[in-house]
Structure 1
Amino acid sequence: MIELKQVSKTFVSKKSTVKALDNVSIHVKKGEIYGVIGYSGAGKSTLIRCVNMLEKPSEGEIDVNGVSMTKLSTNKLREARQNIGMIFQGFNLLKTATVYENIAIPLKLTGIAKTEIDERVKKYLAVVGLEAKADSFPSQLSGGQKQRVAIARALSHEPDVLLSDEATSALDPETTESILSLLLKINKEFGITILLITHEMHVVQKICDRVAVMENGKVIEEGKVIDIFSKSTTDTTKKFINSLFPEDIPTEVLNSLNEQGPVIRLSFVDHSTGKPALAEVAKKFEVYTNILSGNIVQLKNEPYGRMVIHLQGIQEQTEAAITYLEAEGVHVERVNL
């Protein structure tokens, strides 16, 4: 559906040259929600702006729904963009236009008949739950309501693809939850493919099927969300995941515990989250288990749990316990300083 092939983007000024994207390749499948996460300056905003050619790549190819965006003429590109909706962090609403007009004006500019415009505006205001706000102005709306108007405006063109550029980063936690639930609803009911960028792992956890982690203009890890959570390999990815699972175990405590037996991090995926694994370990092996931290979160398609524990006992028994846990489908990682 969306494919970036070895895409690079370099910004050149009199004083400097900045490579914002460095040989990036990703493939977003039809009907999925795909997240791109990274810290400020990672290149994620440049990436999403390249998809609809708001930024032209320096190198590489971009295909959207079978159309090679990098090879289109100006007129053809304008047509192709009609099939790509986009929502922004800053909403980008016309301040002097009503909610109704903010959705209707872009449709009018594309030559759609007045009766159809009216139908679409009312339809998509209903989808986002703002039918009663049609005659309100942006200044009379909350941040969440403004973003819902922006989503309705994007949907009114009935695109196959929706791009989300940090759409929830300016919102409070409760409003963020409601917007994420709305994006899930849109994805499910309309089958729209969503590509979103964010710096919040909670957004990825809540709604994404797959995710790419970016750093210094490169994709450093990519895959199913559950695999990234349970089998991450880079420090940057682990930092994002740790934001959902704060451990905060003092160094002195870890050093002391490691002298008495291994400290391990357990990842429980899907069915393994419901198993009494630690209770079985205590029964089967001569070890004492001490839970240091733990939490279970709901990903889009399955639960994921993580726990840090200390196994106290002789090495033969602690190693046997770890082998048992792995056989039960629990991912085990040793916590060493």
Structure 2
Amino acid sequence: MITLENITKTFQTKKQTAVTALNGVSLTVEKGEIYGVIGYSGAGKSTLIRCVNLLEPPTSGQVKIDGVDLTGLSKEALRNVRQKIGMIFQGFNLLKTATVYQNIAIPLKLTGVKEADIDARVKKYLKIVSLEDKHNVYPNQLSGGQKQRVAIARALSHEPEILLSDEATSALDPDTTDQILALLHKINQELGITILLITHEMHVIQQICDRVAVMENGDIVEQGKVIDVYTNPKHLTTQRFVDSIFPSQIPASIIKDLEQQGPIIDLTFVGDAADRPSLSVISKKFAIETNILSGNIVQLKEQPFGKLRAHIKGAASETNQAIDYLKNQGVQVSEVKSIDSIY
């Protein structure tokens, strides 16, 4: 549905110095999926998402929606295509002097929607975002989460096929973030709307995304299914994001003592493997002792995913058999070779 081909974007500073924000970025978002783009500040992700609806025209490359290259369209044709693309922002962008109802109705009126249809749409989408009782309230009477719900209803009222989310949860507290993410997932599932979102939070990616692209310095350094990227991060930036939800730093004094007694291993559990008491089993099955040093289990969109760092104490023959057993049970195992690899 969305295809970006070799997108570059160069800005000119006041001193006429060229700054490249995007450097030949390509990605494809399939119809009906939730695709996340994650990166640290300055990675180029906000520029990228604004290129999708040409709020930020790319310097070069093609932006295709359903096979149509937007960069070659007339202004009128581009306006028509944009009707299929809704967008929500971190800052909500609501009119302070207009009611919730008016914030949704006014943009519809400006695009030529009939009055009767406007009223029906406003009521329909306020119900979807669970704000049907707030239609006469002003934005300053709403919480941050409620303001974002109004912004989502406004975007949906144009009945788009695509929804772009530009850091839509960054200004919200954790509980409200979860509520907004649940709402976006509901919109995707029930309305069939394709969602492309950008974020700097791994929690957002793991909660609702099907696939993810990791950006750094204007490039996509890694992309794929969320579960694949989580279980086998290849780029250092991706590893940093994954490590942020699986902290594994251990005091050097403890490591020094433990590594003399047996291997320190990293275990990755996916799906059913996350529910099995694997370490307990090998402690009983082999002449070893196990000690969990760090770890966490999180819920991805459709399955649990966990990582543990553990120490196995015992004779080499026994520890090797235990590790082989874990691998045969579907657990990914890698040995931490030295203190340096832990940091």
Q: CA RMSD in A?
A: 1.2
Q: Paired residue for 1:315?
A: 316
Inter-partner Cα distance in structure 2 for 1:192 and 1:15:
41
Which residue does 1:264 correspond to in 2? 265
The two structures have a TM-score, normalised by structure 2, of: 0.95
Whole-Å separation in 2 of the counterparts to 1:3 and 1:44: 15
Q: Which residue of structure 1 lines up, in the alignment, with residue 5 of structure 2?
A: 5
Match of 1:190 in 2: 191
Indicate the larger mover: 276-285 or 48-57: 276-285
Partner of 1:107, secondary structure, is: helix
TM-score by length of 1: 0.97
Aligned residues: 337
* Aligned counterparts of 2:136 and 2:43: Cα–Cα separation in 1: 40
Give, in whole Å, the separation in 2 of the partners of 1:7 and 1:284.
55
Q: Choose 284-293 or 158-167, whichever is displaced more.
A: 284-293
How many Å separate the matches in 2 of 1:136 and 1:52?
Answer: 31
- In the TM superposition, what whole-angstrom CA distance separates every residue of 1:89-125 from its partner, at most 9, and x where no partner exists? 0001111111101101111111111000000000000
Partner of residue 300, structure 1 = 301
SS at match of 2:310: strand
| Aligned mates of 1:20, 1:73 — CA distance in 2 | 25
Residue 222, structure 1, aligned to residue 223, structure 2 = yes
- Give the SS at the match of 1:261: coil
CA distance in 2, matches of 1:299, 1:24: 26
State the partner residue of 2:31: 30
Report 1:158-177 matches (<5 A): 158-177=159-178
AA aligned to 1:218 is: D
| 3-state SS of 1:18 partner | strand
What pairs with 1:217-296 in structure 2 (closer than 5 Å)? 217-296=218-297
3-state SS, counterpart of residue 332 of structure 1? strand
Indicate the SS of the match to 2:179: helix
Aligned to 1:105: 106
Matches within 5 A, 1:62-211: 62-211=63-212
Deviation at 1:315, TM superposition (A): 2.6
SS, match of residue 53 in structure 1? coil
Amino acid paired to 1:331: Q
SS at match of 2:212: strand
Amino acid aligned to 2:294: S
The superposition leaves residues 20-54 of structure 1 with CA deviations (integer Å, 9 ceiling, x where unpaired) of 11111111111111100000000100000000001
How many angstroms apart in 2 are the aligned matches of 1:303 and 1:125?
A: 33
Look up the equivalent residue of 2:112 and give its one-letter code.
G
Cα separation, 2, equivalents of 1:202 and 1:264: 25
1:295 deviates by 1.7
Query: Secondary structure of the equivalent of 2:20?
Result: strand
Q: Which residue of 1 aligns with 2:44?
A: 43
Q: Which runs of 5+ in 2 are unaligned?
A: none
- Following superposition, the deviation at residue 5 of structure 1 comes to 1.1
Q: Which moved more, 1:250-259 or 1:225-234?
A: 250-259
Code of the aligned partner of 2:319: T
d(CA) in 2 for partners of 1:322, 1:222: 30
How far off its partner does 1:16 sit? 2.5
3-state DSSP class of the match of 2:106? helix
More divergent stretch after superposition (28-37 vs 239-248):
239-248
Whichever residue aligns with residue 88 of structure 1, its letter is F
**Take 2:121 and 2:212, find their aligned partners in 1: how far apart are those partners?**
32
Give CA-to-partner distance per residue, 1:311-333, whole Å, 9 cap, x none. 11233332332222122111112
Cα deviation, residue 15, structure 1: 4.6
SS across alignment from 2:158: coil
| Separation in structure 1 between the aligned mates of residue 71 and residue 36 of structure 2, nearest angstrom | 22
By how many angstroms is 1:70 displaced? Answer: 1.5
Q: Write the letter of the residue equivalent to 2:276.
A: K
For residue 280 of structure 1, report the CA deviation from its aligned partner: 2.5
Aligned residue number for residue 52 of structure 1: 53
Instruction: Give the fraction of aligned pairs with identical amino acids, expressed as a percent.
Output: 62
Q: Tell me by how many angstroms 1:284 deviates.
A: 3.1
For residues 312 and 217 of structure 1, what CA distance do their matches in structure 2 show? Answer: 45
- How many Å apart are 1:63 and its aligned residue? 0.9
What is the aligned partner in structure 2 of residue 17 from structure 1? 18
